[in-house]
Structure 1
Amino acid sequence: MRENNFSSNKDVIKVLAVGDIMLGVCSLNKIADNKTIPNQLLRNPHEITKYVKPLFQSADVVFGNLECVFSEEFYALNLKNIKLLIAPPDSSILLKENNFTILNLANNHILDHGVKKVRETINTLENVGIKYIGEPTKLKKKQIEIIHVKNKKIGFLGYNLCEQGEQSSIEEILASIKKNRSSVDILFLSLHWGWGSEHMEFPSPSQVELGHMFIDHGVDVILGHHSHVFQPVELYHNKIICYSLGNFIFDMDNEKNRKSGIVEILIDNDNNLSNKLIPTEQVENYVLRVDEQKHNTDHLIVSNYLVKLSPDEYAKTAKIVKSQYNKEILFDYLINFYKYPLTFHSNTVRRWISKFLSK
């Protein structure tokens, strides 16, 4: 199943899946140097993905995890009153042009700016014709999104298992799988998971256990995200578990956050699955396709993933990794201190204190 060995069949369905999409502002370095993703999009909405855009045009379904909201409020923001993870509604054009079919909204950041902004985001997506799953306000009260492709019904479910945002339970997800399994030919499950182990390059023991359980209960493909780092894709019982698809578009500066990949999944007439990884990297806000001959990614697609650490060892390692990442953010803030106005400093410190107290 590792090779797309039936890709020449015209009846085969091609699904491309990417990780986190953040079209707002996050990086302190990018803010300081005024090289933000929104500014680049407003100058030219076609540039950021121009090197990978041809890949998406041939796909029947394109999936991603939307890690920001679209809001008109963006146009009123400036360096003195900047808000993270808010994107201009016009930037949704980029996603439509790249053939995005469906986006996951079930994550820990979609509610950062309240329900009103989520509904504004939904309106933006509906206006450009992009479907969505995991809508956290429960306004639509719809569990599954079914896409009809080449006489098949491809179902998508989306859930957030992180402690921030609208968190779902394992029981809720299992009930949804049971309820919707018989209504589709192939069932995709989008999972925002791995709370506390951000930036880890491999999944936790509990994620592996959960992934196997969801497959055993009827899911065909799991599309994971939240770590901001691409993690291995496991082939389990002829099904696919993408533990983390990493960042597709995100302004993080760390090299391992900028390296990612597009997972191509093919579905044949008999619902057999085949997949491959197309490595990518973000350079100066551009998404580039990486030379697969120079960057061997075979180790990122594995059969029957072997857990590397015990739960306690994993938790200790994750804490160290996250601490190092936070130190890098603090360092970036300090070296760029003189570039920000006083109001930016007060807002930043207030936000960090609020995050610390919430823990």
Structure 2
Amino acid sequence: MGNNSKKITLAATGDVLLHDRVYKKAKKRGESGYDFSELMNEARPLFEKGDLKIVNQESIIGGVELGLSNYPNFNSPVEIGYLLKEYGVDIVNLANNHILDKGEKGILKSIDNWNEIGLPYVGAYNSLEDQQTLRIFNKNGLRVCFLSYTKRMAGMKIPKGKEYLVDSFEGATVTKIAKFIRSLKAKGLSDVIVVSIHYGKEYHMLPTADQKEITATISDAGADVILGHHPHVLQPPEYIFNSRGTESFAIYSLGNFFSGQKGIYRQIGGYLTIDIEKPSDESPLLKIGKPTMQLTYVDSTDDKTFKLHLLKDVVAEREIIKTHMGDFESQQVYDKITNHLKKWIPEFDVT
């Protein structure tokens, strides 16, 4: 690193999506409230790595007041938010196809709760002013701006005149996102632009042509890191070389991190880190590299504990992983997902 080089490690996870079978396991015995710390305890050390950490909170946290609920219209206990805050998460991503599961009321209640917790959010907002307030963090001398958009809305309509509630886009409006990113770059308000984007097809292990096209467009506009969500499985990352002569890092799907979904590769998630360095004040070009991922596994079909484990520990402990789809040899699963994730970046450090 040069004398005036500035560097951060960005960390990100996929979906925290709380099915009723998960939050029922977190119910406190003999008293009101929920406690997810035991279920997620194995993840705690992962969050020690990274200067800025973003988690995709897939279900709203309207809490018991709004009535907790399961698929297809999720509403989760607020306690999950307090745990993420305790883990040192810096910002949660909210733009997804479940954000309107409880309508406008759900968004507003959820945001009230995030504000009470003291955890910044991006992708859904309680006012136009909130939406227009950029989420910029100053870390190690680098200004990092987080943006978030969803292409999927699960058929839900944003109330007319209240488009500020969710950052969403359909088809051609990806050019609007690109235009906004270009204007951000031109204004020089941040050194790094991180875009979370909800797109693609559920359960597809590889990105669709649409995902690739959208990603290339926003890379070309100036996004430095692109974090994909929606498919509920891990899709491989790649570096995107664009017409500006720079490279973006994109992971097309970060899969599920903590959820009650069943299916071997829906139960495997990961904690991603990536180094971002600005070599000098004179050089606007960033160096983005050293991606790593620690794989996780949620026991939703084996012991039905819904506990999160490190996948390598599961492999060390059991030869066979039993699921509702049959039995899988754990080492084989580990090797397959590891090779899959290295498809476009062979040096991707996956453990």
- How would you bin the TM-score normalised by the shorter chain? 0.7 to 0.9
Q: Give the residue type in structure 2 aligned to 1:47.
A: E
2:295 equivalent in structure 1: 279
1:224 equivalent in structure 2: 228
Q: Give the residue type in structure 1 aligned to 2:145.
A: G
Q: Give the residue type in structure 1 aligned to 2:105.
A: K
Q: Do the aligned partners of 1:75 and 1:88 also contact (CA within 8 Å) in 2?
A: no
Q: Give the residue type in structure 2 aligned to 1:162.
A: R
2:212 equivalent in structure 1: 208
Q: Which structure has the highest helix share of the two?
A: 1
Q: Give the residue type in structure 1 aligned to 2:24.
A: T
Identity %: 27
1:107 corresponds to which of 86, 96, 119: 96
Give per-residue Cα distances to partners, 1:230-285, cap 9 Å, x unaligned.
11111222321110000011111222210121211112242311211211111132
- Tell me, in whole angstroms, the C-alpha distance in 2 between the residues paired with 1:192 and 1:78: 22
- Tell me, in whole angstroms, the C-alpha distance in 2 between the residues paired with 1:23 and 1:205: 29
- Tell me, in whole angstroms, the C-alpha distance in 1 between the residues paired with 2:28 and 2:10: 28
Q: Give the residue type in structure 2 aligned to 1:279.
A: L
Question: Secondary structure at the residue paired with 1:36?
Answer: helix
Q: Offset at 1:105?
A: 1.3
Give per-residue Cα distances to partners, 1:40-87, cap 9 Å, x unaligned.
7945331122112112123211111111112243585599xx984211
Comparing 219-228 and 128-137, the one that deviates more: 128-137
Do structure 1's residue 183 and structure 2's residue 204 form an aligned pair? Answer: no
1:335 equivalent in structure 2: none
Change (3 A) 1:15 1:249: same
1:52 corresponds to which of 18, 30, 43: 43
1:300 equivalent in structure 2: 341
Q: TM-score, normalised by structure 2?
A: 0.74
1:124 equivalent in structure 2: 113
Do structure 1's residue 98 and structure 2's residue 87 form an aligned pair? Answer: yes
Q: TM-score, normalised by structure 1?
A: 0.72
- Tell me, in whole angstroms, the C-alpha distance in 1 between the residues paired with 2:90 and 2:307: 21
Q: Do the aligned partners of 2:268 and 2:311 also contact (CA within 8 Å) in 1?
A: no
2:77 corresponds to which of 67, 84, 88: 88
Do structure 1's residue 63 and structure 2's residue 104 form an aligned pair? Answer: no
1:265 equivalent in structure 2: 274
Total equivalences in the alignment: 287
1:244 equivalent in structure 2: 253
Q: Do the aligned partners of 2:34 and 2:77 also contact (CA within 8 Å) in 1?
A: no
Change (3 A) 1:38 1:56: same
Do structure 1's residue 36 and structure 2's residue 27 form an aligned pair? Answer: no
- Tell me, in whole angstroms, the C-alpha distance in 1 between the residues paired with 2:180 and 2:25: 36
Q: Offset at 1:149?
A: 0.3
2:64 equivalent in structure 1: 73
Change (3 A) 1:142 1:203: same
- Tell me, in whole angstroms, the C-alpha distance in 2 between the residues paired with 1:40 and 1:15: 34
Structure 2: gaps spanning 5 or more residues: 157-165, 242-246, 280-285, 300-304, 316-330, 347-351
Comparing 104-113 and 66-75, the one that deviates more: 66-75
1:349 equivalent in structure 2: none
Q: Offset at 1:118?
A: 0.9
Q: Offset at 1:206?
A: 1.6
Change (3 A) 1:243 1:134: same
Change (3 A) 1:18 1:72: closer
Q: Do the aligned partners of 1:56 and 1:99 also contact (CA within 8 Å) in 2?
A: yes
1:160 equivalent in structure 2: 150
- Tell me, in whole angstroms, the C-alpha distance in 2 between the residues paired with 1:72 and 1:49: 19
Q: Give the residue type in structure 1 aligned to 2:180.
A: S
Q: Do the aligned partners of 1:24 and 1:38 also contact (CA within 8 Å) in 2?
A: no
Q: Give the residue type in structure 1 aligned to 2:131.
A: K
Q: Offset at 1:143?
A: 5.8
Q: Do the aligned partners of 2:6 and 2:141 also contact (CA within 8 Å) in 1?
A: no
Do structure 1's residue 19 and structure 2's residue 40 form an aligned pair? Answer: no
- Tell me, in whole angstroms, the C-alpha distance in 2 between the residues paired with 1:76 and 1:108: 19
Question: Secondary structure at the residue paired with 1:255?
Answer: coil
Question: Secondary structure at the residue paired with 1:268?
Answer: strand
Give per-residue Cα distances to partners, 1:84-133, cap 9 Å, x unaligned.
42112233211111111111111110111011221111121122221111
Question: Secondary structure at the residue paired with 2:40?
Answer: coil
Q: Do the aligned partners of 1:69 and 1:121 also contact (CA within 8 Å) in 2?
A: yes
Q: Do the aligned partners of 1:38 and 1:91 also contact (CA within 8 Å) in 2?
A: no
Q: Do the aligned partners of 2:178 and 2:218 also contact (CA within 8 Å) in 1?
A: yes
